[in-house]
Structure 1
Amino acid sequence: MEASIEPQYNTISSLTKTLHELISQTLQMDRPNKPSAISPSGTGPQPSVHSEQGRVIASLPTGDSVEVLLYGATVVSWKANGRENLWVSEAAKLDGSKPVRGGVPIVFPCFGPPPKDHATSALPQHGFARNTTWEYLGKSSSESGKLASGGDDSVKLDFGLSSSQLSEDAKKAWGYDFALVYSVTLARDGLQTMLNVQNKGDKAFEFQMLLHTYFRIDNISKVAINGLGSTTYIDKVLNATEHQQSSPSLQITGEVDRVYKSIKLDTTSITQDGKSRLDVTRDGLSDSVVWNPWIEKAKSMGDFEPKDGYKNMVCVEVGAVDGWTKLEAGETFEGGMIVKSHA
């Protein structure tokens, strides 16, 4: 590891200590409109956690599991009630050679192609978080802290990324001192993912963040997305023009690439055949992106397989992407999601 988060920290152990301190600060934050955290409800066998070949895998005695690549801290599998909830392309690269097509890639510090004449303008599309190797900081109790007494309902995995871990090119392109902690909490029927951003330098910076979640569904023609009614969105398929969704339910019948801004309801729900499939609750975030490439766009992407895979996935992505979030020196930002699975 090269330079560190702060000049006086010049060892891996010091970096880890700093990130753990950030985790502690994160758990003490009082977030507005905070949904109920995933937490255990009883006692019993402990969850199991192990790491292998650049990934961390956690499972509950119930059989529910989550798998996270250190490359990008990308969640590539989440199984609940014996069912896989995330879609990953059959052609996705899982060897660290390029960002993963599928799962939950982390977009930071810019969403999409960065604008010209901005501090992020020299960065690649979606920034560097999804194609940088993160550090596994270990497992811990859930946000409620109740796991200390034992239980089989929840386990939290923490991953860290700081400016010192970036490639030289990324450091030159975005030369700010920062620390990220990404917390992935696996619970019975639920998954919570939270990104904490801290400005460790002496000057402010602006950023965008998004959890680019690919959900697995059985048939896109039978899916509806609820909770976006009366919301203004930017339609990237229609030259980034603004529209307002009049229907409370969105059904996908072609390519969709929309940025929904300042959504009034905290939860966006995915139904299948009229039945609840997944509930996505934003925590500290007000925007969501809905994306499905449909036929032609899927054909044009080399790492999208099978080509008719668009029938079995839909992206509902929580984030802060309408404009920029400014973080002053020493300030901290946190946002993420809680997803509930319905069998």
Structure 2
Amino acid sequence: MVDRPSRPSAISPTAAGPQPQVDVSDDKVTARLPTGESVEVLLHGATVISWKSGSKGNTENLWLSEAAVLDGSKPVRGGVPVVFPVFGPPPKSGHATSSLPQHGFARNSRWEYLGKSSTESTGDNTSENSIKLDFGLYSSALSDTFRKAWPYDFGVVYSVTLGKDSLQTMMNVRNEGKEGFEFQVLLHTYLRVKDISKCQITGLAGTTYTDKVLDAKDHSSTSPSLSITGEVDRVYKSIKQSTTSVQEDGKSRFDVVRDNLEDTVVWNPWIEKAKGMGDFKPDDGYKNMLCVEVGAVDGWQKLEGGESWEGGQIMKSLL
């Protein structure tokens, strides 16, 4: 288990003003701020399926397929799935993750809700409020199949913090055993946009990216911005800037700020691939989504026994 001496405990109301609220059901945790912002997290995969911000919390920032399966039988198409301990198809042989499914087991496993903590206002300024939800995944809770395929002792704590016009998602990975292991991690975020043809992505210039659509080879990113005009699946590596931004119709829409993560995947399936995915609905949903996925996927992170690693992102809605 991950040592958590400061594990969140139940919150006792200490202020007269409205305070953050958390609702827990058998399959989902929902948090809501007094100003209306909200987040919904499935226990299956610890997948964030909704993040609403803006005036009265009526702006949905994440894209979720109309055909997304939310009953725990398969990974969720949309929201923010957690990719761990391997990104993409695992190495064919010779690596500890070779027997795992694509994108690993975190998004296919049921996580434990560990609790909540909050920053609460003590007066009328409820915009100061934030709420943090912690979720845990441990080797002892894996299915027999996953445990056999990746027999390491580990603990992961995933923290989802909702603030005014922001959502922070952080992963803490700890090696609980004596044998070292390697891993990759990615936060597979599906941002919701109004029109993909009017979007531009900045903050990726001066980097090298692998183009999985073109030839799976490395290319240099020299343009100050990227527009989506067809299928795109690129892995941008060792990015110097901490922030990747999305503009829509010439206006700032999102900032995605990496924390101890150097790589970012940009993905949109476009027309034909969207039609070919049974859980991607509607077929033209590609027009309203853009994946900007922060991660550590170029090479491997390694943890020896007792060591830990932390990384994540802060997403800001700029409407």
Q: Which residue of 2 aligns with 1:29?
A: none
Q: Which residue of 1 aligns with 2:79?
A: 103
Q: Note if contact 1:72-1:130 (Cα within 8 Å) is conserved in structure 2.
A: yes
Q: Which residue of 2 aligns with 1:176?
A: 152
SS at match of 1:76: strand
SS at match of 2:316: strand
Letter in 1 for 2:96: A
Cα displacement string for residues 68-123 of structure 1 (whole angstroms, at most 9, x for unaligned residues)? 00000000000001200000000000000100000000000000010021000000
Consecutive unaligned residues in structure 1, runs of 5 or more: 6-17, 25-41
Q: Note if contact 1:75-1:104 (Cα within 8 Å) is conserved in structure 2.
A: yes
Given the alignment, which residue of 289, 295, 302 partners 2:278? 302
Q: Which residue of 2 aligns with 1:162?
A: 138
Q: CA deviation at 1:125?
A: 0.2
Q: C-alpha distance in 2, partners of 1:23/1:54?
A: 21
Q: C-alpha distance in 2, partners of 1:330/1:149?
A: 39
Q: Which residue of 2 aligns with 1:129?
A: 106
Cα displacement string for residues 267-310 of structure 1 (whole angstroms, at most 9, x for unaligned residues)? 00000011100000001111000000001110110100000000
1:282 aligns with 2:266: no
SS at match of 1:238: coil
| 1:217–1:43 CA distance, 2 compared to 1 (3 A) | farther
Q: C-alpha distance in 1, partners of 2:26/2:286?
A: 29
Cα displacement string for residues 139-162 of structure 1 (whole angstroms, at most 9, x for unaligned residues)? 013xxxx54968742000000000
SS at match of 2:5: helix
Q: C-alpha distance in 1, partners of 2:209/2:7?
A: 34
Q: C-alpha distance in 2, partners of 1:69/1:321?
A: 24
Q: CA deviation at 1:319?
A: 0.3
Q: Note if contact 2:7-2:115 (Cα within 8 Å) is conserved in structure 1.
A: no
Q: CA deviation at 1:45?
A: 1.8
1:259 aligns with 2:235: yes
Q: C-alpha distance in 2, partners of 1:133/1:200?
A: 19
Given the alignment, which residue of 195, 200, 210 partners 2:171? 195
Q: C-alpha distance in 1, partners of 2:94/2:183?
A: 14
Given the alignment, which residue of 45, 51, 73 partners 2:46? 73
Letter in 1 for 2:41: V
Q: Which residue of 1 aligns with 2:214?
A: 238
Q: Note if contact 1:261-1:286 (Cα within 8 Å) is conserved in structure 2.
A: yes
Give identity over the alignment, percent: 67
Consecutive unaligned residues in structure 2, runs of 5 or more: 9-14
- RMSD over equivalenced CA pairs, Å: 1.6
Q: Which residue of 1 aligns with 2:12?
A: none
Q: C-alpha distance in 1, partners of 2:141/2:120?
A: 31
| 1:61–1:163 CA distance, 2 compared to 1 (3 A) | same
SS at match of 2:146: helix
SS at match of 1:218: coil
Q: CA deviation at 1:44?
A: 3.6
TM-score w.r.t. length of structure 1: 0.86
| 1:315–1:22 CA distance, 2 compared to 1 (3 A) | farther
TM-score w.r.t. length of structure 2: 0.93
